[in-house]
Amino acid sequence: MTHDRHSYAEPALVRTTHLALDLALDFSAKVLSGTATHTLAWSGPGDRLVLDTRDLTILAVEGAGGAGGEWEPLEYSLAVPDAELGSALTIRTKQHERVRVSYRTAPTATGLQWLEPSMTAGGMMPFMFSQSQAIHARSWVPVQDTPSVRFGYAAHVTAPPELMVLMSADNGTTSHRSGSYDVVMPEPIPSYLLAIAAGDLVFEPIGDRAGVWAEPEMAKRAATEFCDTEEMMRVTEALFGPYRWGRYDILVLPPSFPYGGMENPRMTFATPTVVIGDKSLVSVVAHELAHSWSGNLVTQDSWDDIWLNEGFTSYVENRIVEAVYGHELAVMETAIKQHATVVKLDPLPAAQQAVELPGLNHRSQYHGTTGLGPLKGAWFLAWLEERFTREIFDPFLRGYFDRFAFRSINTDDFVGHLQEQLLDKHPGLVRPAELAAWLDEPGIPAFAERAVSARFEIVDELRERWLATGEVPAGAKHWTTQEWLRFLDAAPDVLTAAQLQQLDREFDLTGTANGEIARRWYAIVAASNYTPAYEELANFLTRVGRMKLVLPVYKALAATESGHTFATDVFTAARPNYHPITTAAVQRVLGS
C-alpha cells in the first residue's frame, strides 16, 4: 500500500480489517456518539495506530487482545488540527488485536447534515444523512480515512423510535421502526463509502434486487422514475461481470443533498432533483450503479487516482444508458459532457488546461470537486474501445474488474494491466506517444474524436438561426431534456433582455422543475442581469442544495458587483438548507 497524502493513517504498518460501530443519534444536540472498534492486522513491528479525525471529541481509547481479551486503557494524543485534513489521533498500543475509541461528533461535522422537520418533504420529522466522500468520514468516525484501506463493518444504532435508520450495508426491505437497528456490511469497503441516514423513510420495491427508500411523499414517484434499475443491473452484468453486493437500493434524500448521487454500496444516496417524471435524468442512477464495479469493487488507492473511480464509472454509465435507452441518448449524454467541460478549454493555453490524469491534486477539491481528469479518463476508455473494438475491449474491462475485485489500486496498476492484457496482445494498435498523451499530458489529445449527435446538429442550426433572426426554434416544445441542454450550453453566456423574454414566453424556462435545465437557464439569466427571473432564481437556489446545480448560478451572479450582492443575500437565506460541503463551496465562490 502506498502512502496517501490525504490521510494521516499508516496502513503499511497496521490496517483496519473490520469496524464495529455502536452509535446513538441525538437530534436535539445534533451529535452522533458512541464507539468505533477496530479489528487490526499488523504488518511489522510498531507500537502505534494513527487514525484520521476531524472535530471529534475523544472520550476514551482502549485496547484488547483476542476476541475474549480484557480491555485496557491506552495512551493517545490528538494533534493540532489542519484546516483540511483534521487531526491525527495517535494511539500507543502493544499491537492489540482490537482498539476501541469512544467519541462524539461536533454539530458542525462536515460529513453530517441534520435537517429540521421544515426542511423535509413531510415537514413533521427531522432528518440526518452523511456524506463521507472525499475525506469526510473522519468527521463522524475515527478511521483510517484512505481508500487504500478496506474493511467490513457492523453497526448498532439507536435513534428516536419514530425514525428509520439506514446505512451502506444490508438493511433489509422492511421499514419497521424500533429505535434500535443492527446492520452488517460483509464486503470490504473503503471509509468514504461509510454512510448513515435517519428520517421518515419507507420502502418501495422496484425489482427482486432493487428498491427505493424515501419519504412517503416521494417514495412512489421515485420508484416509478427508477423502475429501470433492475434492467440496468442485468445489462451491466452481461457486459462486465456479476453484481457482487447483494441488493441495490436507492435512498432519495431531501434536496439539500450536495450531489446527484453517492455510490454507497447497497444503498445509493440520490438527489430528488432527478425525479421529474420523464426518466430524462436517470443517468444519475446509471452512474451510481456503475460505481458498483468501478470504485466500489475496484477502488483508487488514493484521491490522486480519482480518475480510476470516476473515469471508469462515466464510461460504464454511458454503456448502461446505451443498452437501456438507445445509442442516440448515449451519444447526446457524451456530447453534453464533452462540450460543457473540456471543449470550453480549447481557447486556453495548454498550461492552463490542467486536464491531466490521474486527478485530484488540490486541497480545495477535498470537499467533493473532482476536476476534469475523470472526464478525460472516460474519454480515454471510449477511445480504447474504438481503437480495439468492443469485441476485444469489453472482455478486457471485465477481466480488469475480476482481477482487482475488492482491491484498491493506483494508475500504475492499471497501466500494467493494460499493457499486459491489451497492448501486448494486440501490438501496433496504440503508439506509446498516444498513451502518453492520454495519461501524462494536459488537455484532450488532438486525435481524440468528439461525440457527434445528428439531433444536436439540428439543435445547433436552430439556435444559430434564432440568434441571427429571432426565429423561435421549430419543434422546441417537444425537445428532450438533452436537446434543451445542448441549446443552452452552446448559447452565448450573455443574452439580451428581449431574447430572454422571448424564450421564457415561448417555453416557460423560468420556474422549470428540471434542475439541469434550470441551472443553465439561471446562469444565463444571472450573467445577463435579467432581473425579471431573479425571484424564481432565488427560489431555486434556496430550494436546491446540489452543488452541480447551484454553483454555476452563484458563479454567474458573483461576476458583477450587483449580482454578487444579490447572491450574498440569497446565500444568507439559503444557507440553513445547505449541506456543509455545499456551504463551503459557495463561500469559496463568493470569496467569504
Residue 1 has pLDDT above 50, yes or no: no
- SS3 of 410, please? coil
pLDDT of the residue at 365: 44
pLDDT of the residue at 362: 44
Question: What amino acid is encoded at 496 in this protein?
Answer: T
pLDDT band at 165 (very low <50, low <70, confident <90, very high): very high
d(CA 492, CA 528): 10
pLDDT tens profile 119-158:
888 889 999 999 999 899 999 999 999 999 999 999 999 9
The full 3-state SS of 381-409, as one line of letters, equals HHHHHHHHCHHHHHHHHHHHHHHCCCEEE
pLDDT band at 363 (very low <50, low <70, confident <90, very high): very low
Residue 39 has pLDDT above 60, yes or no: yes
- Four-CA torsion 267, 311, 406, 62, nearest 10 degrees: -70
> Contact at 8 Å (CB) between 311 and 342?
no
The pTM of this model reads: 0.91
Looking at 490-579, list the stretches that DSSP marks H as alpha helix, in order from N- to C-terminal side. Answer: 497-507, 515-527, 534-543, 547-558, 561-574
Mean pLDDT in residue range 515-521: 94
pLDDT tens profile 538-570:
999 999 989 889 999 999 999 999 999 999 999
Q: Which of 286, 269, 306 is nearest to 135 (CA)?
A: 306
Question: What amino acid is encoded at 567 in this protein?
Answer: A
In the chain, the domains with their CATH numbers are: 1-106+135-189 (2.60.40.1730), 201-292 (3.30.2010.30), 298-439 (1.10.390.10), 492-590 (1.25.40.320)
Mean pLDDT in residue range 223-233: 95
pLDDT of the residue at 231: 96
Helix (H) or strand (E) segment spanning residue 202 = strand 202-205
Residue 560: other Cβ atoms inside 10 A: 14
Least confident interval from 228-232, 376-380, 492-496: 376-380
Mean pLDDT in residue range 423-451: 90
Mean pLDDT in residue range 412-431: 95
pLDDT tens profile 340-351:
667 666 555 655
For helices 481-489 and 515-527, give the axis angle rounded to 10 degrees. 20
Residue 3 has pLDDT above 90, yes or no: no
pLDDT tens profile 83-99:
889 999 999 999 999 99
pLDDT tens profile 62-81:
999 876 789 999 999 999 99
Per the prediction, the chain carries an average pLDDT of 91
pLDDT tens profile 13-25:
999 999 999 999 9
> Contact at 8 Å (CB) between 520 and 514?
no
d(CA 228, CA 30): 37
For the sheet containing 48-53, what is the strand order? 48-53, 87-92, 76-78
Residue 230 has pLDDT above 80, yes or no: yes
3-state class percentages of the chain: helix first, strand second, coil last, to nearest 5: 40, 20, 35
Mean pLDDT in residue range 207-228: 94
Mean pLDDT in residue range 496-521: 95
pLDDT band at 5 (very low <50, low <70, confident <90, very high): confident
pLDDT of the residue at 359: 53
Q: What percent of the chain has pLDDT over 90?
A: 76
Please name the residues in contact with 367: beta carbons below 8 A apart, sequence gap of 6 or more.
110, 134, 581, 584, 585
